[in-house]
Amino acid sequence: MRTAAHPQAIQKRPLLDHILLSLVLGFVTFFLFSGLFVFGFEIVYAGRIYPGVRMSGVDLGGLSPAEAAEKINREITFSKTGRILLQDGDAAWVVPPQELGLFLDPGSSAALAFDYGRSGGLMTRLFDQYEGWSDGIDVAPALVFDQRLARQYLIQIAGQIDKPVVEANLGVQGTEVIVRSGEVGRTLDIDASLSAVSDQVQTLQDGLVPLVVNETPPVILDPSEQAEVVRQILSQPLVLTLPEGMSAEGAPFELSPAMLAGMLAIERVSDGEGETYKVAISSEMLIQYLGSLAPNLQTYAQNARFIFNDDTHQLDLLHNAVIGRQLNVQNTLTAIQAGLEKGEHTIQLAFDITNPQAMDTTTAADLGISEAVSVQTSYFYGSSAERVQNIQAAAKSFHGLLIAPGETFSMASQLTDISLDNGYAEALIIVGDQTILGIGGGVCQVSTTLFRTAFFGGFPVVERHAHAYRVYYYEKVYGNKVDPSLAGLDATVYVPLVDFKFTNDTPYWLLMETYVNPSTSSITWKFYSTSDGRTVEWDTTGPTNIVEPPEPIYKENPELSEGTIKQVDWEAKGAYVSVSRTVYRDGQVYFSDQFNTTYQPWRAIYEYGPGTEIPTPEAEGE
């Protein structure tokens, strides 16, 4: 049976529904308007800093990051205009924060301000935006604190603050020992002071930074006995001598009493009954002095140089071995301190001695040298006297030189400095894309001969560089004839950029000899060692892909007279050459390699005097 609804309940329900609907509509309307407000707010401040955002009191609200960076840079000037007072008692130093390494980064600071209200979840961002808008927010600027600058500044003023401990009643004035009252030693604590400076400058406020200074009180003792030690040390100069048989420029070395006085150190030590003073020359200052002597006293060990006697198969001494020596600073320091304690004033320097591997008495058998294993000759017909001079000067660097088993030999490392003082002259050299006069022209005749001696001796070539163009000297053979098969067997050396290197991969030493004969326009390079059974087969394509040289160039030279034409560079055809080599040992292939060379076509260059009629339209300026 259905029961009829109560009339009052029927009347209340529509009212309740109406209230609920009104509430829902109210909330929807509120959130709609709130959303529209937030949406509009975000649109207005898209790309701009939210309102209420400040930085060090500077209002940045509504500015773009670029505008904010400009305003920050203009108005936040503490790093430049601020003042930090560093204080040590009555002494004070006023320093702008910038000199202490504090820098404001306007761009990063603006980015921090712009980022406020844009980080975190939605509610976090909205809360931050509201907080900035309603209460304002001060965002810390982006600072760069370079502690190195602050440390450097503190180190500078440490020179004014630091004072050594002066023990009571003992001191030196000039070379006179005097009695005076003790003084407290003071040392600026760089690290602690740096920490205090860092804390202050990053507040972006002027302020006082008390410097942290460590003080060391003197020990109160009767220094009369130590005063006598000081008088003894300063009684006469200290003379440092070399061991017998050694020599060096400036030796013996003398330290005057005034110098010794400046190097004195008074140390507090314990003698078991208490504390006393030990007087000696400062180890640190003495090491510094000895260190200044060491480079000029050092000699590198050098093997003796020999000539292989083809008749006796023995070695004839050419240059004596050089014994290596290096100043032993620590042992010398110990000897000086001990000698001064005993009243000595003439003390011998201590050295570490290094013998070279090949001494004057070394024999051919010791080195495993018994025969010539590779001999090559190149010819330089037509060379100028200057070029011949340079060939002779360079070849001397290698005459009698030994290469150890397994050693990779660098020609550049042994070549004497190419200078007029070392016997070189000006001759033609290749620099870039031209041939010009330069000191050492002709050295490559020597490097080419060495390359061929290593090549035909079957030694591994580690580094080789060809010339830019074919140089006719390197294809000459006996009788001033040209052998094109020698193309691609040249090597250039240009210290320190370009080198020639090969390895002595045998178990025997290698002795090199160089002979320059101007009368036959030849240089011969000899390798002496003991054959390990290696032989060489080689082949060459000869010059291929020949490219004719460009047309000559004529350049006006105001230093030449009218009617004068002078050739300053010579033409050469371009070509490609590939040289292959197979090295056998005891009939088996040991290794093979290939040397590919591309020579550039090279144009002739002429210079002429002003007003000279030239035979080509390629004159400069046409």
pLDDT level of residue 220 (50, 70, 90 thresholds): low
CB 418 within 8 A of CB 425: no
Residue ranges with strand state E in 394-508: 401-403, 408-410, 426-431, 434-439, 461-463, 476-477, 481-482, 501-503
Q: At residue 611, what is the residue type? A: G
pLDDT level of residue 567 (50, 70, 90 thresholds): confident
Dihedral angle computed from the Cα positions of residues 128, 129, 131 and 132, in that order, rounded to the nearest 10 degrees: 110
CB 241 within 8 A of CB 349: yes
The region, left, alpha or beta by phi > 0 then psi within -120 to 50, assigned to residue 229 is alpha
- Of 51-60, 150-159, 208-217, 222-231, which gets the smallest average pLDDT? 222-231
Please choose, from the candidates 544, 495, 545, 504, the residue with its C-alpha nearest in 3D space to the C-alpha of residue 527: 504
pLDDT level of residue 171 (50, 70, 90 thresholds): low
pLDDT for 348: 95
Condensed to tens digits (0 to 9), the pLDDT of residues 116-147 reads 878 877 778 777 777 767 777 888 888 888 88
Mean of the pLDDT values across residues 608-621?
68
Question: Is the model's pLDDT at 351 over the cut of 60?
Answer: yes
Condensed to tens digits (0 to 9), the pLDDT of residues 428-456 reads 454 444 444 555 467 889 999 999 999 99
- Of 114-118, 402-406, 528-532, 599-603, which gets the smallest average pLDDT? 114-118
pLDDT for 621: 39
Question: Is the model's pLDDT at 540 over the cut of 80?
Answer: yes
pLDDT for 373: 97
Determine whether 26 is exposed, middle or buried from the number of CB atoms within 10 Å of its CB (0-12, 13-18, 19+).
exposed
Cα angle vertex 193, ends 191, 194, to 5°?
Answer: 60
pLDDT for 438: 53
CB 556 within 8 A of CB 607: yes
pLDDT level of residue 203 (50, 70, 90 thresholds): confident
CA–CA distance, 374 with 384 (Å, rounded to integer):
28
Regarding predicted confidence, which is higher, 249 or 36? Answer: 249
Condensed to tens digits (0 to 9), the pLDDT of residues 287-322 reads 999 999 999 999 999 999 999 999 999 999 999 999
Q: Is the previous residue joined to 252 through a cis bond, with omega within 30 degrees of 0? A: yes
Give me the percent of the chain exceeding a pLDDT of 70: 85
Q: With a threshold of 0.75, does the pTM exceed it?
A: no
CA–CA distance, 200 with 209 (Å, rounded to integer):
7
